[in-house]
Chains A and B, each alone.
Chain A
Amino acid sequence: MASFTETVPAELMEPREPEPSARLGETLRRARHKRRALGALAIAGAVVGIAVALLLPRRWTASASFFPESRGSPDLTSNLGGLAGLAGLMGGSLSIGTRPAVFFTDLAKSRSFFDSIAVSTVRVDTPDVTMRVEDYLIKKAKTPALRRWRARAALKSAVKATMLPSGVVVITVKAKSPYAAAAIANRAIEVIDELNIDFRRREAAARRKFTEGFLDIVQQHLTDAQNRLVQFLNTNRTFVAPALQQQQRSLENEVERLTLLQQQLETSIENARLTEYNDAPMVTTVDVAAVPARPSGVPRILFVIGMMFLTLIGGLWAIHLRLWR
């Protein structure tokens, strides 16, 4: 095969760099020479590791999960048929409570959610030790507002919501006490449900008010249509002509259409009123958070051995790179 490359004259070459074996051998020789210092370094690393491992607070992680029940469940307003289309044309929807699962994960990042958790009283330690979450998380604060703000920030980093492909939402809580972690995780699901029920009620009330206003207009139109029909019948009692018959049918159809619309709106108002008083859960709990048996995070033994190993290897690298002569 012809040459890919050009020839470099041998006279341009200079003696090779120092052999790596020489350098590695030198490193090993120096390491042997400094074995006591390296040993001391490793022990110091282990001591630092032990100190840090003992000083770092233990963390416990608990998980609870739920399924947003409203997905696919029949809604009270789902049978309104054409009225829903009419409402859609007017810029709204009559369907109440159908939310995508991702809504629930976003809800778990909202201020309302964190504030509701913060004011909740949960078990934070062995039986009978209960406390408000904000008092548990923030031991000292100058004002209640400052405590709430700091509790919100602490909860934001402690609570994580993840959505599985099936639509199940997992709430993970990290806390300094296993009991608090489990209790806050379970309380989070309750809060999500309460907030959703509250949203549902407020949404239904707003929908009812809108529909009542619309009903007033429809009733006015219906009264007008009925009046026009009565007036037509009063003024055309004796003549029977095709054009007049057609006009009568139109007026009757208009009255019939508006009557039907009025009935549908009345049904919608009743449904919305029912929804306002409906306190059935919006979510189904899949897993209740159990008190974790083992702390999460880095095992302390890893920290101790890791620090020892890190300082030892750091020392060897310092010798190899000739930073430590």
Chain B
Amino acid sequence: MALTAPDPSRRPTTGRGAATRLVFLAGAALVPFNYFIGIAVGDITIHLLEFWVVVLLAMTVLLQPRLLLETTDTPTLLLWTTFAFVLMSTVLATPAEFRIRGLLDNALLAINLLGFTLTYAYLRNDPPLWLRFARVTFGSSLIASVYLAARALSVAQSGVFLLPDSFVLGIGTVGGTYTAAFAALSMVGFTFGTTRLMRWIMVLGIIVHGMAASFALARGPWLALGIAFVACVILGLWVRPRLERPIVALARAGFATLLLLTVAFSTALENQVFARYFAPRVAEIGNLGSGSGHTRLTLFLALLDDVRNSPLFGHGAAAYRSIATLLGTEASISENFLLEILHAGGAAAAVPLGFAWLIVLLRAVRSTRLPGQRGITLACLACALALMLASLSNPAAWNASFWLLVAATAALRFTFPVTTAHRVALEPGVP
């Protein structure tokens, strides 16, 4: 399989390089499990990928010391600019009672950004590794979603519910975000898949991830899934040249939607306990006038109001907790990563973050112009878009899995590059 013309000199051929690649792929396997497996240390939960980042960083510094320098480019630099401003504001502005927590938040952000930097570096340096990373992650995500769906079904049948709202069946909003993102990936992958095998695997993905996402009972991720899917289908139909006729792509998109809805509603019809929770969540999908939607909206408006007091440099990490406490909402969660960064580091931190996300998405959009790889690139774009949108309504972006998946999307450009030669071949007349 020759996706690109790999430069043999760039691929690690030594034993040490192979070991690093193995550790790197272990991270890919951990991505879909990271958000629900962790070790609680006091108030803080340490997840597996955080250990993985430390180990991979140590191995990289020891074995491939120039790798990070060689692969660092605009998105990575923008993200670290964000971190620098958030750290500065935390040290200088976070109220004393929240400063320790703010510094811990900074440490977690640094680990997550290191995860992004390392993943991006490895995938960029070794383009063929991207497909292995994608296969391992997707395969692992199927196992994770089967486990989550089975556990949720068991909870629904037992009648012993865990926590309120989206946690009632044990998955929650963050789990819902990742399963919905993988469901969006599967739906778009099925719609624009270029091989029959890929489409069959994506059907399996729609069933498994769709079931887990519906069990999550999380409205924000459902909306993110819908928006990401529609946006990527429109993009796929718009970007030229096309391999498939629009009517075929639309029929496949319709089938993917129908399959997802069938999976969700048939489960609800089969299990009355699940239906009792599922129906109101579906009915109130856009309700911001009461419940958790209203609580989030109130918190967001209060945070925006507070941002006006320090628009350029913010109030420091964890400073939002004083507002959350005043409002009587759960103080440990800001529920909107971009808004939290805006509150913590001001425009100086939020603007680079917004640009970094935008560049990642635009690069993926650009890669969709290569017809043979459109299915994969659009599917990855849907996954990243769903993750980013969902992170505006829950703390999914504080998990390292988010950054590894975004890094993989950012590295698409180097895996499936659209070169001048492609443009000439695909669009005659381009100088």
Residues of A within 8 A of B (CB): 1-8, 10-14, 16-17, 19-21, 23-25, 162, 164-166, 170, 296-299, 301-303, 305-306, 309-310, 313, 317, 320
Contacts and interface: CB of A to CB of B under 8 A. Distances in A.
Given A2-B197, A8-B2, A8-B416, 19 more contacts: A1-B135, A4-B194, A4-B195, A4-B375, A5-B376, A8-B4, A12-B422, A14-B420, A14-B421, A16-B7, A17-B417, A20-B72, A21-B72, A24-B73, A162-B326, A298-B93, A306-B89, A310-B312, A320-B77
B158 interface: no
Nearest to A157: B308
B313 A298 contact: yes
Most B CB contacts (10 A, CB to CB) among A8, A12, A16, A20 go to A8
B38 to A, nearest CB: 29
B422 A5 contact: no
Contacts of A17: 417
B72 A8 contact: no
A24 B4 contact: no
A297 B419 contact: no
Interface stretch (B80-88, B161-169, B245-253, B396-404): B80-88
Nearest to B372: A6
Given A5-B3, A8-B372, A306 B131 contact: no
B331 to A, nearest CB: 13
Contact of B421 (A13, A164, A305): A13
15 contacts: A3-B1, A4-B194, A4-B197, A4-B198, A4-B376, A5-B195, A8-B4, A8-B370, A8-B372, A10-B2, A19-B70, A164-B327, A306-B312, A306-B313, A310-B312
Contacts of A6: 194-195, 372-373
Given A4-B131, A7-B2, A24 B92 contact: no
A313 B416 CA distance: 32
Interface residues of B, number: 47
A20 B312 contact: no
Interface string B57-81: 0000000001001111110010001
Interface in B1-31: 1-5, 7
A13 B84 contact: no
Which of B7, B74, B376 is packed against the most chain A CB atoms within 10 Å?
B74
A21 B92 contact: no
A310 B348 contact: yes
Contacts of A4: 131, 135, 194-195, 197-198, 375-376
A37 to B, nearest CB: 20
B425 interface: yes
B84 to A, nearest CB: 7
Given A7-B1, A296-B309, A303-B313, A12 B70 contact: no
Contacts of B420: 14
B328 interface: yes
A166 B326 CA distance: 11
A17 B70 CA distance: 13
4 shortest interchain CB distances as A-B pairs? A6-B372, A21-B70, A165-B328, A20-B73
Contacts of B3: 5, 7-8
A21 B425 contact: no
Contacts of A10: 2, 5
A139 to B, nearest CB: 23
A298 B376 contact: no
B421 A12 contact: yes
Nearest to B93: A302
